[in-house]
């Protein structure tokens, strides 16, 4: 992926990296950190900081597909405790987020969540933080429409 983003950069050809991830070291850890590990390596290679106040979770395939993970409630609580305001979760965990929002709105209140299918979407959110993502723009448009609807309702009364 790094070659797609910065084709002339040969960081991985000129540096040796070793990641030791023992199988079963911590119960339930591992696959969920796929997008996080790739993002941290790209941050190092590209010498680019990741967006502040961002937490992410998602299993990653070799083709860049982001797969569902477990423990969305626990991960959200942990992010909230750490002061994180932006979360990235796999698209296939949207139902878990919706259920959490319905049953525990205090846990999700004030958090912005991004649902992704591919690593390229994670990259856009994590590294292009000066620009608004398509999801952020859509959320803003929806919020504006909601306000317009509220104003129309008040005027009608």
Catalytic residue, chosen from 8, 47, 75, 120, is 75
Contact 46, 9 (CB under 8 A): yes
> Does residue 133 have an active-site annotation?
no
Identify the three-state secondary structure at position 15: coil
> Does residue 75 have an active-site annotation?
yes
For residue 76, give every residue at least 6 positions away whose Cβ sits within 8 Å of its Cβ, in sequence order, or none: 87, 97, 100, 107, 108, 111
Paired strand residues for 53: none
Cα separation, 59 vs 39, in Å, equals 12
Catalytic residue, chosen from 8, 32, 43, 131, is 32
50 closest CA partner among 106, 130, 118 = 130
For residue 5, give every residue at least 6 positions away whose Cβ sits within 8 Å of its Cβ, in sequence order, or none: 42, 46, 123
Indicate which residues carry an active-site annotation.
32, 75
């Amino acid at each position: 992926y790094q070659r797609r983003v910065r084709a002339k950069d040969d960081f991985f050809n000129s540096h040796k990296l070793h990641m030791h991830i023992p199988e079963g070291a911590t119960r339930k850890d591992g696959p969920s950190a796929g997008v996080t590990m790739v993002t941290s390596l790209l941050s190092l290679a590209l010498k680019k900081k990741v967006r502040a106040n961002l937490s992410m979770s998602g299993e990653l395939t070799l083709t860049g597909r982001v797969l569902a993970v477990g423990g969305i409630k626990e991960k959200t609580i942990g992010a909230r405790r750490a002061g994180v305001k932006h979360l990235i979760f796999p698209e296939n965990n949207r139902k878990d987020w919706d259920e959490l929002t319905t049953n525990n709105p205090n846990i999700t209140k004030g958090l912005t969540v991004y649902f992704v299918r591919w690593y390229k979407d994670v990259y856009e959110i994590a590294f292009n933080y000066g620009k608004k993502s398509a999801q952020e723009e859509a959320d803003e448009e929806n919020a504006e429409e909601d306000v317009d609807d509220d104003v129309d309702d008040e005027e009608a009364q």
